[in-house]
C-alpha cells in the first residue's frame, strides 16, 4: 500500500497538547504493510525493520512493551537520497523467538502522520530483556523542509542533530528516564519533555517556540535562537549561554540558574533556595526571583528590572540600553545586603533606598569623575532611608528602588 496516496489533511500538533499514542494495528511480523516496509531477522535474537517515508507528512515513532528504546537522527550517507526519510528499527532480545514475538507496523494514523511502531508480545518478565534502537536517516545532499517529527520513547537516549540542511516544521519528543540532545537543529516549534535525565540544546535555530522540560536533572542551552523559549526542571541546574529570544523563561527549584550572554525582549529567571548568576544580560523587561540565595550579575535593561530574593544579598551592575526610554527598576531582599552600580551618565530620574536597623548609602563612586555631572539631590537623607533624584527633576525617565532589612544598601553611580 502506498501511503502517499492518502489525502487526509495534516493537522499540526498544538504546543499545549500532543495527540495521544495510538494502539498499533496488529499484523503478522514481516507482513508487507507498505510498499517500502521490510522486516528481517538478522540473528536468532535480533530483528531489523526498515521503511522509507516521503517528505509530505510528519512521522510518529514509538514503541511499546520494550525495556528501552533509543533514537538517533542523522544524515544519510547515501548521497542519491534526496526525498526520503529512512526509518530503521533494530530490536534485540534475550530469547530467540523474536520474529514471532515482535511486531513492526507502518501506517497512516488518525493524526495524518506516518506511524512507525514497534511492539513486543513477550510476557512482562521477558519484556525486560527487549531493546529497540531507532535510526532515522535524512537526505544530506539537498536542503529540504520536513513537516515534522513526533517521538514517544523511554529508558534510553534520544539524539537529534547535525542536520543543517533539513528544517522541520515541528519536533515533539516525549520520553521517560531518557536524556535528550538536540544539536544543530532548525525547527519551527520544538517541544521536548523527559524525566530524571538531562536535556541539551546546542546551536539550535527555532522559529516560533522552544519548550523543554525535565525533572531532577539539568537543562543546558548553548547558542539557541528563537521566538519563545522555555526551560523548566526541578532539583537541578539550568545553564543558558548565548541564547536569544523574544520571551525567555527559565525555572527550577533547589538548584542554581546560570545565564551568560542572553538577549530577549522579556526574560524571566526563577528558582528557589539557590543562586541566580546572570552575566551579560540584555532585555527590555527582566525579572529575577529566588529565595534564601543570592542574585548577582550584569543587567542591561530598557524598561523593567525586577529582582527579588530573601535572606541573601543582591550584587549587580545595571546598564540602560536606551537612556531615553522610561525604565522602572526594583530590587528587594531581606536580612542581607544590596549593592548595585547604576550608570551615572545615562541615569535621569529618582532613587529610593530603604533599610531597617542599618544604613543606606547613595553616592557617586568617584567624586572626581563626577565633577562634571549633576549633583545627587536628596529629598530624604536619613541613615536608613535615602530618596532623591539625579538630573533635572522635571525630566525624570527612570525610577530605581531598593529595600532590605537588617543590612546595608549601597547604591553607587559609576
In the predicted model, what is the mean pLDDT of the chain? 89
CA quadruple 176, 182, 185, 190: dihedral, nearest 10: 40
pLDDT at position 184? 95
Tell me the percentage of the chain whose pLDDT exceeds 70: 89
The pLDDT, as a whole number, for residue 18 is 40
Find all residues with CB under 8 Å of 191, minimum gap 6, and list them: 15, 18, 170, 171, 172, 173, 209, 211, 212
- CA dist., res. 129 & res. 67, Å (int): 6
pTM for the full model?
0.87
First-residue to last-residue Cα distance in the chain? 73
Q: Which of the residue ranges 42-56, 93-107, 320-334 has the most confident prediction, judged by mean pLDDT? A: 320-334
Residue 357 pLDDT exceeds 50 = yes
- The model's pLDDT over 290-304, given as tens digits with 9 standing for 90+, comes to 999 999 999 999 999
Cell of 357: 536597623
What pLDDT is attached to residue 150? 98
Contacts of 24 (CB under 8 A, 6+ apart): 64, 103, 105, 117, 119
Q: What is residue 23's predicted lDDT score, i.e. its pLDDT? A: 36
pLDDT at residue number 128: 54
327 pLDDT higher than 60: yes
Look at residue 161 in the predicted model and tell me its pLDDT.
Answer: 86
**Confidence at residue 394, expressed as pLDDT on a 0 to 100 scale:** 67
Checking if the pLDDT of 100 tops 90, the result is no
Give the separation between CA 176 and CA 303, rounded to whole angstroms: 40
Query: Pick the residue with more confidence: 44 or 346?
Result: 346
pLDDT > 90 in the chain, percent: 78
Per-residue model confidence (pLDDT) at position 98: 78
pLDDT classification of 255: cutoffs 50, 70, 90: very high
Contact 146, 85 (CB under 8 A): yes
Q: What are the two backbone dihedrals, phi and then psi, of residue 125, each rounded to the nearest 5 degrees?
A: -65, -45
Task: Tell me the pLDDT band of 102, cut-offs 50, 70 and 90.
Answer: confident
pLDDT class for 35, splitting at 50, 70, 90? low
pLDDT tens by residue, 346-355:
999 999 999 9
**pLDDT attached to residue 3:** 36
Give the mean pLDDT of 195-219: 98
Distance between CA atoms of residues 292 and 271, nearest Å: 10
> What span, in angstroms and rounded, lies between the C-alpha atoms of 106 and 146?
18
pLDDT at 195 over 50: yes
3-state secondary structure the chain: CCHHHCCCCCCCCCCCCCCCCCCCCCCCCCCCCCCCCEEEEEECCEEEEEEEEECCCCEEEEEECCCEEEEEEEECCCCCCCCEEEEEEEEECCCCCHHHHEEEEEEECCCCCEEEEEEECCCHHHHCCCEEEEEEEECCCCCEEECCEEEEEECCCEEEECCCCEEEEEEEEEEECCCEEEECCEEEEEEEECCCCCEEEEEEEEEEEEEEECCCCCEEEEEEECCEEEEECCCCCEEEEEEEEEEEEEECCCCCEEEEEEEEEEEEEECCCCCEEEEEEEEEEEEEECCCCCEEEEEEEEEEEEEECCCCCEEEEEEECCCCCCEEEEEECCCCCEEEEECCCCCCEEEEEECCCCCEEEEECCCCHHHHCCCEEEEEECCCEEEEEECCHHHCCEEEEEECCCCCEEEEEC
Return the pLDDT at 284.
99
Residue 6 scores a pLDDT above 80? no
What is the pLDDT, as a whole number, of residue 126? 53
Confirm if 387 and 380 have CB atoms less than 8 A apart: yes
Whole-number pLDDT of residue 47? 92
Backbone angles phi, psi at 393, to 5 degrees: -60, -25
The pLDDT of residue 197 is above 80: yes
Q: Is the pLDDT of residue 84 over 60?
A: yes
Q: What is residue 123's predicted lDDT score, i.e. its pLDDT?
A: 63
Amino acid at each position: 500500500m502506498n501511503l502517499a496516496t492518502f489525502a487526509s489533511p495534516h493537522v499540526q500538533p498544538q504546543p499545549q497538547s500532543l495527540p495521544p499514542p495510538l494502539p498499533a494495528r496488529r499484523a503478522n511480523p514481516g507482513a508487507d504493510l507498505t510498499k517500502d516496509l521490510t522486516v528481517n531477522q538478522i540473528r536468532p535474537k535480533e530483528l531489523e525493520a526498515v521503511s522509507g517515508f516521503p517528505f509530505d507528512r510528519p512521522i510518529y515513532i514509538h514503541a511499546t512493551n520494550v525495556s528501552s528504546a533509543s533514537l538517533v537522527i542523522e544524515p544519510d550517507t547515501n548521497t542519491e537520497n534526496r526525498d526520503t526519510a529512512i526509518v530503521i528499527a533494530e530490536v534485540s532480545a534475550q530469547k530467540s523467538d523474536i520474529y514471532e514475538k515482535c511486531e513492526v507496523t507502518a501506517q497512516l494514523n488518525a493524526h495524518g502522520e506516518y506511524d512507525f511502531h514497534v511492539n513486543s508480545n513477550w510476557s512482562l518478565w521477558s519484556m525486560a530483556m527487549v531493546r529497540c534502537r531507532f535510526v532515522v536517516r535524512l537526505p544530506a545532499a539537498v536542503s529540504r523542509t520536513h513537516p515534522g517529527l513526533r517521538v514517544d520513547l523511554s529508558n534510553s537516549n534520544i539524539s537529534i542533530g547535525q542536520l543543517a540542511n533539513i528544517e522541520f516544521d515541528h519536533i515533539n519528543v516525549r520520553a521517560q528516564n531518557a536524556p535528550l540532545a538536540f544539536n544543530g537543529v532548525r525547527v519551527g516549534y520544538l517541544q521536548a519533555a523527559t524525566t530524571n535525565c538531562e536535556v541539551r540544546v546546542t546551536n539550535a535555530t527555532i522559529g516560533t517556540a522552544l519548550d523543554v522540560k525535565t525533572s531532577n536533572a539539568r537543562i543546558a542551552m548553548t547558542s539557541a535562537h528563537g521566538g519563545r523559549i522555555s526551560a523548566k526542571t526541578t532539583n537541578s541546574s539550568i545553564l543558558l549561554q548565548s541564547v536569544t529570544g523574544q520571551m525567555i523563561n527559565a525555572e527550577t527549584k533547589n538548584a542554581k540558574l546560570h545565564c551568560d550572554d542572553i538577549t530577549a525582549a522579556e526574560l524571566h529567571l526563577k528558582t528557589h533556595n539557590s543562586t541566580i548568576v546572570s552575566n551579560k544580560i540584555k532585555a527590555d523587561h527582566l525579572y529575577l526571583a529566588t529565595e534564601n540565595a543570592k542574585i548577582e550579575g550584569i543587567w542591561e535593561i530598557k524598561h523593567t528590572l525586577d529582582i527579588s530574593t530573601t535572606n541573601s544579598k543582591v550584587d549587580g551592575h545595571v546598564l540602560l540600553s536606551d537612556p531615553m526610554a522610561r525604565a522602572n527598576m526594583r530590587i528587594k531582599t531581606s536580612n542581607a545586603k544590596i549593592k548595585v552600580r547604576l550608570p551615572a551618565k545615562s541615569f535621569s530620574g529618582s532613587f529610593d533606598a530603604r533599610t531597617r536597623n542599618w544604613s543606606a548609602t547613595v553616592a557617586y563612586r568617584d567624586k572626581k569623575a563626577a565633577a562634571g555631572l549633576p549633583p545627587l539631590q536628596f529629598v530624604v537623607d536619613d541613615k536608613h532611608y535615602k530618596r532623591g533624584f539625579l538630573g533635572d527633576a522635571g525630566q525624570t525617565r527612570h525610577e530605581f528602588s531598593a529595600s532590605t532589612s537588617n543590612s546595608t544598601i549601597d547604591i553607587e553611580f559609576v
